[in-house]
Amino acid sequence: MSLICVCFDNFQFYGSSGEETGAIDDPFFGDLVEEEESDEDDETEESSVDLLIRFLQSMFKKASKRAKKASRSVLPAAMSPQLVSFAVDGVLLLAALSIVKALLEVVCTLGGTVFVVILLLRVIWAAVSYFQSSGSSFNQGEGSFGSAQPVT
């Protein structure tokens, strides 16, 4: 099936006899036209990010519902349910943000440590290769450090 399909069924040209024109089956640049891949598979499949977000939302709702029940049993009846709900959701969000912050600190610390280790390895590697390339003259006796020099 070709992607380019031009239909002139409802369009009348000036001076045309009104006969129906058919669709163009073959595109002019047939070799250059790429067929579209079906996006239906992408739409029907849920990505892992969507599944993770839905899982976290359901866990938040469950924890929020339990915390609201527990706080209503402790708090006086004069407290409005909206205020209790707002307070519980705020505390849960702050707790979630502090957990995410702690995880990011761990990741950043590990990343910084890996960066410093790689940097040190590169410095050591460069120093060793420098001394190997320039130190060969010292090993052959041409350098000033390997032998005694006359005073001039």
User: Which structural domain range is residue 118 located in?
Assistant: 90-134
**Amino acid symbol at 50:** D
Alpha carbon distance 143, 149 (integer Å): 10
Residue 134 has pLDDT above 60, yes or no: yes
Structurally, the chain folds into a number of domains equal to 1
Instruction: Supply the pTM of this predicted model.
Output: 0.48
Number of H helices, E strands in the chain: 4, 0
44 in a structural domain: no
Q: Find the mean pLDDT for residues 131-142.
A: 65
128 in a structural domain: yes
Do 38 and 14 form a contact (C-beta atoms < 8 A)? no
pLDDT tens-digit readout, 90-123: 999 999 999 999 999 999 999 999 999 999 999 9
**Amino acid symbol at 20:** E
Give the contacts of 26 (CB within 8 A, at least 6 positions apart): 2
49 in a structural domain: no
148 in a structural domain: no
122 in a structural domain: yes
Q: Find the mean pLDDT for residues 26-42.
A: 55
5 in a structural domain: no
55 in a structural domain: no
39 in a structural domain: no
Q: Helix, strand, coil % (nearest 5) of the chain?
A: 60, 0, 40
Q: What are phi and psi of 37, to 5 degrees?
A: -80, 145
